Amino acid sequence: MSLDEVIGSALDERELTYTHDEPGKFFVTLPGTKKLQTNCWLVVGRHAVVVEAFVCRRPDEAHQDVYRFLLRRNAKLYGVHYTLDAQGDIYLVGRIAPHAVTADELDRVLGQVVEAADGDFNTLLELGFKGAIQREWDWRVSRGESLANLEAFQHLVSES
């Protein structure tokens, strides 16, 4: 079986949504709860299958606290690690050796992507976007808008 066939079969078995428009490239949508979905690339290269998932944009504030969290979190991750792009946006990246690409290994690595991106999402927002959360909360309150999707951050806001 080719790597494309192994990857496609593994994604199909797990009923994941993906596109495979060109050989060696899979764009996978991983479901979540806090971060409703995480988009992840699987790209077959000569020496590795590269895994890359966007987690969140560059923090607005408390950069040092966000980066400290990411570095500490890296020590606990399997198969992927946090990194930043040139703009400071946060990604999870990893590499799987071609001979190690199996359905089980893809499951472990993609599971880690979901666990990290989804599990760390609110923490990253709390650390790096507290001011934006406060402004959004105030704006919604002033207009009588729903706060339903901000309830997880109520402890961060001071109601004025």
| Domains of the chain, earliest start first | 3-128 (3.30.1460.10), 131-160 (no CATH)
Q: pLDDT at residue 155 above 90?
A: no
- How confident is the model at residue 159, as a pLDDT? 59
Least confident of 33-37, 41-45, 52-56: 33-37
Going by pLDDT thresholds of 50, 70 and 90, the confidence category of residue 151 is confident
pLDDT score, position 117: 97
Give the N- to C-terminal CA distance of the chain in Å, as an integer.
62
| pLDDT of 150 | 86
Q: Is the Cβ–Cβ distance between 80 and 94 less than 8 Å?
A: yes
* pLDDT value of residue 147: 86
pTM: 0.90
Q: What percent of the chain has pLDDT over 70?
A: 99
pLDDT value at residue 1 = 86
49 in Cβ contact with 100 (< 8 Å): no
pLDDT at 160 over 90: no
**Contact (CB, 8 A) for 9 and 101:** no
Query: pLDDT at residue 2 above 60?
Result: yes
Return the SS3 of 150: helix
Q: Mean pLDDT over all residues of the chain?
A: 94
Structure confidence by residue, pLDDT tens digits, 80-139: 999 999 999 999 999 999 999 999 999 999 999 999 999 999 999 999 999 998 998 999
SS3 state at 63: helix
| Sheet with 90-96, side-by-side order of all strands | 17-22, 25-31, 37-44, 49-56, 90-96, 81-84
